[in-house]
Structure 1
Amino acid sequence: MSEVKHRALTIALLLSLAACTTQSTQPTPSRQPVTVTPGPATTLKVLAGSELQGMTGVLDRARAATGVTVELTFTGSLDGVQQVAAGAAYDAAWFSSSNYLRTYPWTRDRLSTSEQIMTSPVVLGLRAAKAKELGWDSRPVSWQDITEAARQNRFTFAMTDPNKSNSGFSALLAITSAVDGAKRALTKDAIAGVAPQVSTFFSVERLTATSSEWLTDAFVARDKEPAGTKVDGLVNYEASLLALNRDKRLGEPLTLVYPTDGVVMGDYPLTLLDSASPTARDAYKRLVEYLRLPQVQQEIVAETLHRSVLPDVPRADTMPADLAQIPFPDSWAVVEALLHAYNDHLRRPSRVVYVLDVSGSMGEDPTRIAGLKKALHDLTGTSTTLSGEFCGFHKREEIVFLPFSSRPGKPETFTIDESDPEQSLAQVRRAIDALTPAGNTAIYDSLMVAHELAKPTPDRFTSIVLMTDGVRTDGAEVPDYLKFVAERAKGTTAQVFPVLFADSADQEMKQVADATGGTFIDGRSGLSEAFCKIRGYQ
């Protein structure tokens, strides 16, 4: 047998064994004394991805050993790019990938040195019974196999929004590149050619979110639902999926599927920003020196289930070696083209009902109705920010405006035309401009009407956005609404995303979100930002 064939069979065997394994045994971390360069107490302000919340224990010990307190501010990958481009006051950035920062023209010159701390590939985790049903628990699986199973509607999955989160973008990039099959970084010209196959995969996506952490919690919450409504799989970092198994958060473990034709690897570089002060630079050096020590790398592997960047530190025994890796695109133009293709052609389109408070209080302070109109206008393509470019209304999307005051108003429905989106968006803008405040506030009567307009269907993501500046003063009360939701069959209630604004009732809005599996967004610091954030759940 040739050396090439022998190596291929070895890799296939490793992948097959990895797919069969659902439990994780981690190497025992060393507890030897850690020696690092001492230094003064310093706080390092770091813009970071949400999945780094699992590093709390490691960073606490880092502070004790080095004097460096790491102050993490969590945000999505592309939102982080926007903040760095705007010159936000951070010393460093720490995401699962720095490729966005290094390819985006307005951030690459703001970066200084960078050091990898750990790695984790983005893979598909399937409930064990579903993986066995598909035969993916005992043999290597390719993206072609996964796409074919999606075409036959044999499984469903959850994934973060590629416009907001690196794990979602990594999966989008991996399947697009694998279907392209060119064995080089993806190009703009290749995207359109593989769109039909890639869209087949996304036709069975059933749950999305802005962050890996929120998506994981939502996936776990659906674990108790009937087999026909629960989601079968979760696209996420290997470390996050293994942690679900280790912590026994699900009724059955996940089988991790590593596509043989390639995955995108998160390499978690801690990147110093060029604007960092000399004090911050010294703290960064001490912190990196500590985090890359062999004994600390062992602790990272054991506690967070990431892979070490040091070749001599062993992986957890469920982590296959020699994974085929998909390269990141060479330019920002390709990233941009792939995201636009996803939004307008590849993903399942959305149906969003906007329940809009136009009661008299919205007119008492003119900035309220003006702020609402601007936030909605931004979604029609008028925003000039990086986030705004990708969070606007997409082609094929259905938008319903349900204004309300003393009672629910007449709903208006718009579908963004795929061939002539600007004409559709112009109609949406006219409807926004026509919003006029008057009357009382019938929040829950209006929400109940919205649920009839947003019944979930297999061909669309459905959701409800509630924007109110006050409390209910007319119609049904919150207990009536919660009873209404509780009486509806599982899987037939759209998620509600209340936007907290002005004097809205925080606790009631939280009850509304929790009852429907949504989340509430604080819009008091800016409605445009709040509406854009919600787009990652739709």
Structure 2
Amino acid sequence: MRKFIAACLCLLTLGACSDTAPKDTFTIVAGSENRDLEPIVQEFCAAQKRECAVTYLGSLDIGLSLSDAEQKYDAVWPAASIWINIFDQDRKVRHLASIAQNPVVLGVREPLARELGWVGRDVSMADIVNAIRDGKLGYVMTSATQSNSGASAYLAMLSAAVTHGDTIRRQDLDDPATTETVRTLLKGIQRSAGSSGWLADLYVASAQRGAGYDGMWNYEVTIRDANNQLRDKGEDLLYAIYPREGVAVADSPLGFVDRTGQSDTEDFFLKLQSHLTSADIQKRIADTGRRLPFGSASNATPQAEPEWNFNPEKLISTIRMPEPDVIRQALDLYQSALRRPSVTAMCLDYSGSMSGEGVQQLREAMTFLLTPEQTKRQLVQWSPQDRIVIIPFDSRPREEFQSTGVEEEQEAMLSAVKNLSAAGGTNLYACATLALKYIDDINSNEEYLPAVVIMSDGKSGGHVDEFLRAWEDSTKPPVFGITFADADERQLDALAEATGGRVFDGRRDLIDAFRSMRGYN
């Protein structure tokens, strides 16, 4: 399995990060959605005098880890069971139990929700479709193929669009009426992301800057946390919309990974799981704003907050999840045909310091990114409607390459990129400024989700102020940085912060950095 499975955000209590935990350490791979429950786990581990380590990965990565022949984890704890159901082909996961429940809902700025007439009444997915068609509503949402909250919102859209009243079936994905309804819903996406928490932070920061979005699909508890911040900052709250047709619920399942010869480890897992589902701990989990699984040992419920339509004692309609193979096909359809198309301008550093290993690794990353057979396995493939611009640069931009996401065009672009060699100095700002021009020319009618991507291995010359002035006069696409070798993170961090982008660490695995970036565009 690629190095990204080993890449981890280590627990604060465990100190520095390492690719492998000590043999006697109990290891869990978890979704970031469960991060704020980690102290409960650590308290139990400390009481049992057992060291525990949690690696946080995205939903797709957790699923992919289950197909790794050299499984590294003792337990999995994703946001939802669907990622286990899709990827656990060998049925390695046992003793699966839900720890908490978290519906994925649409939060709409309260003044806009009131203007739309949605406050105090049931809202259907058809109402949301009409608001998008009328140009009255846009929202931010994570990628359906990279993040569980995005997948949940997307499956709820699909479920609402089918007309037979049953769960989504394979033939529904070929129904033009169904797919056109979902395509319209996805046109409402103003920004995408690979992380639910990062998306919420973006929403709050944008609201504070006065350049906010209309709404956000996210976990109910994440909407609650965002509203706490928005309230403190004097900004409009998000009003929770639970579409009448039903929402998808993340069930936060904790399961044991059977790796044979682990009787002591399995016993410890069962004790941990029993602790997390006990009445006292379930009450603590309810205090975080999560709903509890049906039949929970505790009868505790989160406190209602009527000002944003949160009432955990009120029953909500939930969708019936389709079969795993149908979900996988639906995710492929999202990525290749239904999502809003993207325009991505990539500035690739071909300065002299990239000679040798640097250029080789960059070629390998581009081979992944422009080879459909590889990107499809990771659910980050380009659609034929996408636009790709690659601008090699050193001390100045070189000749650019442009293509759509059509497979033959990707092949031709890859062939051209592989012939490039490294020479000269480094000026990423000149390249980024030119990237703005290409994006504005292509995206003049704002049909695409835009992004500038800068991959650089060294400190740049040039002037950031010139780029930022050009950015202010442009359509303002986010800038994503990918670090490599001894890249000056401060430069890329400053660009990402100023434009609402993010920086990915390519020093450990350049291919994974580009793959992660695709989840944000």
In the superposition, the TM-score normalised over structure 1's length comes to: 0.84
Residue 428 of structure 1, aligned match among 413, 419, 429:
413
Residue 454 of structure 1, aligned match among 436, 439, 442:
439
Residue in structure 2 matched with residue 272 of structure 1 by the alignment: 256
Q: CA separation of 1:309/1:73 partners in 2, compared to 1, >3 Å: closer, same or farther?
A: farther
User: What aligned pairs does 1:2-401 form with structure 2 within 5 A after superposition?
Assistant: 43-67=25-49, 69-86=51-68, 87-104=70-87, 107-193=89-175, 194-226=178-210, 229-247=211-229, 248=231, 251-275=235-259, 277-310=262-295, 313-316=299-302, 317=304, 318-332=311-325, 334-363=326-355, 365=356, 367-381=357-371, 384=374, 387-388=377-378, 390-401=379-390
C-alpha RMSD of the superposition: 2.3
- Contact 1:359-1:439 at 8 Å conserved across structures: yes
- Contact 1:482-1:512 at 8 Å conserved across structures: no
- Contact 1:66-1:286 at 8 Å conserved across structures: no
Q: What SS does structure 1 have at the residue aligned with 2:472?
A: coil
TM-aligned CA deviation for residue 274 of structure 1? 0.9
Residue in structure 1 matched with residue 498 of structure 2 by the alignment: 515
TM-aligned CA deviation for residue 249 of structure 1? 5.5
Q: What SS does structure 2 have at the residue aligned with 1:261?
A: coil
Q: Which amino acid aligns with 2:269?
A: Y
TM-aligned CA deviation for residue 280 of structure 1? 2.1
- Contact 2:282-2:300 at 8 Å conserved across structures: no
- Higher deviation after alignment, 435-444 or 392-401: 435-444
2:434 aligned with 1:445: no
* Deviation per residue, 1:260-312 (Å, 9 max, x gap): 11111111110111117223212211111111111211111112434354455
2: distance between equivalents of 1:328 and 1:357? 44
- Contact 1:122-1:238 at 8 Å conserved across structures: yes
Q: CA separation of 1:407/1:53 partners in 2, compared to 1, >3 Å: closer, same or farther?
A: same
2: distance between equivalents of 1:90 and 1:243? 30
Q: Which amino acid aligns with 2:511?
A: S
Q: CA separation of 1:523/1:137 partners in 2, compared to 1, >3 Å: closer, same or farther?
A: same
Q: CA separation of 1:64/1:369 partners in 2, compared to 1, >3 Å: closer, same or farther?
A: closer
- Contact 1:243-1:305 at 8 Å conserved across structures: no
2: distance between equivalents of 1:273 and 1:140? 42
Q: Which amino acid aligns with 1:325?
A: T
Give the structure with higher Rg (CA).
Answer: 1
2: distance between equivalents of 1:222 and 1:496? 15
Identical pairs, percent: 29
Residue in structure 2 matched with residue 29 of structure 1 by the alignment: none
1: distance between equivalents of 2:339 and 2:106? 17
Structure 2: stretches of 5+ with no match in the other structure: 1-23, 305-310
1: distance between equivalents of 2:136 and 2:51? 48
Q: Which amino acid aligns with 1:466?
A: I
- Higher deviation after alignment, 339-348 or 167-176: 339-348
Residue in structure 2 matched with residue 27 of structure 1 by the alignment: none
2: distance between equivalents of 1:427 and 1:130? 46
1: distance between equivalents of 2:171 and 2:182? 15
Residue in structure 2 matched with residue 413 of structure 1 by the alignment: 402
TM-aligned CA deviation for residue 462 of structure 1? 0.5
- Contact 1:242-1:305 at 8 Å conserved across structures: no
Q: Which amino acid aligns with 2:321?
A: F
TM-aligned CA deviation for residue 211 of structure 1? 1.0
1: distance between equivalents of 2:456 and 2:380? 21
Q: What SS does structure 2 have at the residue aligned with 1:329?
A: coil
- Higher deviation after alignment, 337-346 or 203-212: 337-346
TM-aligned CA deviation for residue 97 of structure 1? 1.1
Q: Which amino acid aligns with 2:317?
A: A
Q: Which amino acid aligns with 1:119?
A: Q
Q: Which amino acid aligns with 2:335?
A: N
1: distance between equivalents of 2:255 and 2:39? 21
Residue 464 of structure 1, aligned match among 449, 452, 457:
452
Residue in structure 2 matched with residue 32 of structure 1 by the alignment: none
- Contact 1:124-1:234 at 8 Å conserved across structures: yes
Residues matched between the structures, number: 482
* Deviation per residue, 1:95-124 (Å, 9 max, x gap): 1212221233x5442112111111011111
Q: Which amino acid aligns with 1:497?
A: F
2: distance between equivalents of 1:500 and 1:487? 23
Q: CA separation of 1:490/1:270 partners in 2, compared to 1, >3 Å: closer, same or farther?
A: farther
TM-aligned CA deviation for residue 185 of structure 1? 2.6
2: distance between equivalents of 1:459 and 1:265? 31
TM-aligned CA deviation for residue 468 of structure 1? 1.5
Q: Which amino acid aligns with 2:492?
A: M
TM-aligned CA deviation for residue 160 of structure 1? 0.7
* Deviation per residue, 1:63-110 (Å, 9 max, x gap): 455445542211111111111211331110101212221233x54421
2: distance between equivalents of 1:385 and 1:497? 19
- Contact 1:79-1:387 at 8 Å conserved across structures: no
2: distance between equivalents of 1:409 and 1:384? 27
TM-aligned CA deviation for residue 141 of structure 1? 0.7
TM-aligned CA deviation for residue 429 of structure 1? 2.0
**Greater RCO, 1 or 2 (C-alpha within 8 Å, sep 6+):** 1
